Amino acid sequence: MKPINVGLLGIGTVGGGTWTVLTRNQQEITRRAGRPIQISVVADKDLALARKVTGGACELTDDAFSVVADPRVDIVVELIGGYGVAKDLVLKAIENGKHVVTANKALLAVHGNEIFAAAQKKGVMVAFEAAVAGGIPIIKALREGLTANRIQWIAGIINGTTNFILSEMRDKGLSFETVLKEAQRLGYAEADPTFDVEGVDAAHKLTIMSAIAFGIPMQFDKAYIEGISRLEAEDIRYAEQLGYRIKLLGITKHKAEGIELRVHPTLIPAKRLIANVEGAMNAVLVQGDAVGATLYYGKGAGAEPTASAVIADLVDVTRMATADPENRVPHLAFQPDAVADIPVLPMAEVETSYYLRLRVEDKPGVLADITRILADQQISIDAMIQREPGEGEMQTDIIMLTHVTRERQIDGAIASIEALPVVKRKVIRLRLEELG
């Protein structure tokens, strides 16, 4: 049977892994796909690298646009990344009637609506399992495996760099800055780690999962994003004392008023499985009305784990390429004319529980003033610890956990608390999710 010809754009870490796995497992992949899948042309600016990885076993070029225009190419695999030339290449491939496989979460989160509309119009597929959580098949689970369910919420550890940093801070009691340097030395963090540590990468992935789970357009610009760069080691320690772990979570929930779409450091009960995901691993917890909670765990990055997802998409596209476009699995799980315009809630309207740490003067009446402010905002306290001041110390830390309340009420309470003369620094506020 005639092979499917693939044009591979980018043969860096993931592209090299894709070549290696596809070559190594060619026989099994062919048996599953029903016909051979072969990379017939590779485009990369570094032709020497491309030649080294492929051994010269396929055509090589430094012109990616020639690949998306090549009539011999059936599927284009885009592994370049970024918003710029990658978008132009993907749209040109679609215009030329080619199916696309991509691992580019940033591209889809920001321009996915345009790309999927173009693919729908042209009758081609855009597959993107590798864009979220590396080798974990979370897109297929949301789009197909859980299709009978009304998804209620998703909470995910979807950035391995930040999870490694938080694990090391907890295990060794080190500062963020110290662990970040170690993560960079070990190759877990980029030289410029901003996208990872400030939560942007996780927000890209969460935007995609939210769209599939709830049948809404991609709305990355409405996501609330808060990273871990300002997280202090003592808050990790206090959280442990209270029975919680801190993780950078991507959280999206379908509430009566709209969709929550937020990334931030979050306290999770230590007894939850997801709280015990350590190192650079990823995990996604999905709550469906029929199935309950399901947890997906594995490597969220790396050459071969991500290649596993890329090749799974290649097999899916190969199987479905001849199917009528109306009978294929929709890009965002819901039929295109059934995508709903549900609002994304501003962070001020989100409801959750909170961890508050206050540095205050060690004197009578302080706690009464603080609890009065919380009561005025209708915020109730779930748990509290007060650090014993050392000999000669005139200040102490008070740590409080609240019951569920609205963010704008916490904002109001924090503003009033910080105005008290006895409060000596800005209030540390972290969000808390029971995930029960």
What pLDDT is recorded for position 331?
A: 87
Q: 238 with 321, same domain? A: no
DSSP string, 75-113: EEEE---SSSHHHHHHHHHHHTT-EEEE--HHHHHHHHH
Domain membership flag for residue 245 = yes
Q: 94 with 222, same domain? A: no
Residue-wise pLDDT tens digits, 228-256 = 999 999 999 999 999 999 999 999 999 99
Query: With a threshold of 0.75, does the pTM exceed it?
Result: yes
Q: 179 with 241, same domain? A: yes
When mean pLDDT is compared across 266-280, 330-344, 362-376, 417-431, the lowest value belongs to: 330-344
Confidence band, pLDDT 50/70/90 cuts, at residue 436: confident
What pLDDT is recorded for position 389?
A: 79
Q: 232 with 310, same domain? A: no
Q: To the nearest whole number, what is the mean pLDDT of the chain?
A: 95
Confidence band, pLDDT 50/70/90 cuts, at residue 1: confident
Strand-pair category, 395-402 with 224-225: unpaired
Tell me the mean pLDDT in the region 368-382: 96
Q: 224 with 171, same domain? A: yes
Q: 52 with 70, same domain? A: yes
Domain membership flag for residue 182 = yes
Please give the share of the chain, as a percent, with pLDDT higher than 90: 90
CATH of the domain at 427: 3.30.70.260
The total domain count for the chain is 3
Host domain of residue 367: 351-432
Domain membership flag for residue 346 = no
Please give the share of the chain, as a percent, with pLDDT higher than 70: 100
The answer on pLDDT for 321 being more than 90 is no
Q: 165 with 293, same domain? A: yes
Domain membership flag for residue 380 = yes
Q: What share of the chain is helix, strand, coil (3-state, %, to 5)?
A: 40, 25, 35
The answer on pLDDT for 18 being more than 80 is yes
Q: For 58, which DSSP code? A: S
CATH of the domain at 105: 3.40.50.720
Domain membership flag for residue 386 = yes
The answer on pLDDT for 369 being more than 80 is yes
Domain membership flag for residue 344 = no
Tell me the mean pLDDT in the region 3-25: 97
d(CA 131, CA 194): 19
The answer on pLDDT for 417 being more than 90 is yes
- Residue ending a domain, choose from 236, 271, 299: 299
Q: 89 with 202, same domain? A: no
Residue-wise pLDDT tens digits, 97-146 = 999 999 999 999 999 999 999 999 999 999 999 999 999 999 999 999 99
Q: 158 with 185, same domain? A: yes
SS3 335: coil
Q: 309 with 324, same domain? A: yes
- Which residues face 287 on adjacent strands? 153, 293
Q: 331 with 373, same domain? A: no
Tell me the mean pLDDT in the region 147-165: 97
Report the helix count and the strand count for the chain, using DSSP H and E.
15, 17
Residue-wise pLDDT tens digits, 287-318 = 999 999 999 999 999 999 999 999 999 999 99
Domain membership flag for residue 343 = no
> Known catalytic residues?
205
What pLDDT is recorded for position 44?
A: 97
When mean pLDDT is compared across 291-300, 304-313, 326-335, 352-361, the lowest value belongs to: 326-335
Q: 77 with 171, same domain? A: no
